[in-house]
Amino acid sequence: MRWSARSRKRSETRPRTSGAGNLIQARNTADQLIYQTEKTLGELNGQVPEADRATIQQTIEDLKRVKDSDDTARIQQLTEQLQQASYAIGQQMYAQQAAAQQAAAGQAGPQGPGTGFDPGQAPFQGGFSAGGDNGDEFVDGEFREV
């Protein structure tokens, strides 16, 4: 098989995966995750349970110490551990928001604002209007190309 100058040049310029490249990538990923997690903890001030916050902060400190070393495997391990912990925070916050929204929807109930239902009037007839109470009605129509 004969290599052309073009294919040889392409293979020479292709990025190579090396131990140093993996270490650099692991450090960059760790830096980004540390920054994002610290920012999230700051934004959720007081909403994260203290035990979870302590665990996450300890993992952040461990990762900060290790990321400047040459131990790629340990950096990746702690990065994964911190990532899982930050996912858990996200899931907890999402569950709390969903519960709060359900509680708010439960309080408003079927007679809440925007439902168009008034128990003192006849059964609900009509649709919802995006324009409010200005008399606009939605009209169902067909679209035809001319």
Domain boundaries, the chain: 20-104
Q: In this structure, which long-range contacts are made by residues 29-35, counting pairs with CB atoms below 8 Å and at least 24 apart in sequence?
A: 29/79, 30/63, 30/67, 30/75, 30/78, 30/79, 31/67, 33/63, 33/79, 33/82, 33/83, 33/86, 34/60, 34/63, 34/64, 34/67, 34/82
pLDDT for the residue numbered 7: 54
Q: What is the pTM of this model?
A: 0.55
The architecture (CATH level 2) of 20-104 comes to Up-down Bundle (1.20)
Per-residue pLDDT of the chain (146 residues; tens, 9 = 90+): 455 555 555 545 444 455 678 999 999 999 999 999 999 888 887 788 888 889 999 999 999 999 889 899 999 999 999 999 888 888 888 888 888 888 888 765 555 455 554 455 544 444 444 444 555 666 677 777 87
- C-alpha 45/C-alpha 47 separation (Å) is 6
What pLDDT digit, counting tens, does each position of 49-75 carry? 888 889 999 999 999 999 889 899 999
Cβ neighbour number for residue 29 with a 10 Å cutoff = 16
The percent helix, strand, coil of the chain (3-state, each to 5) is 60, 0, 40
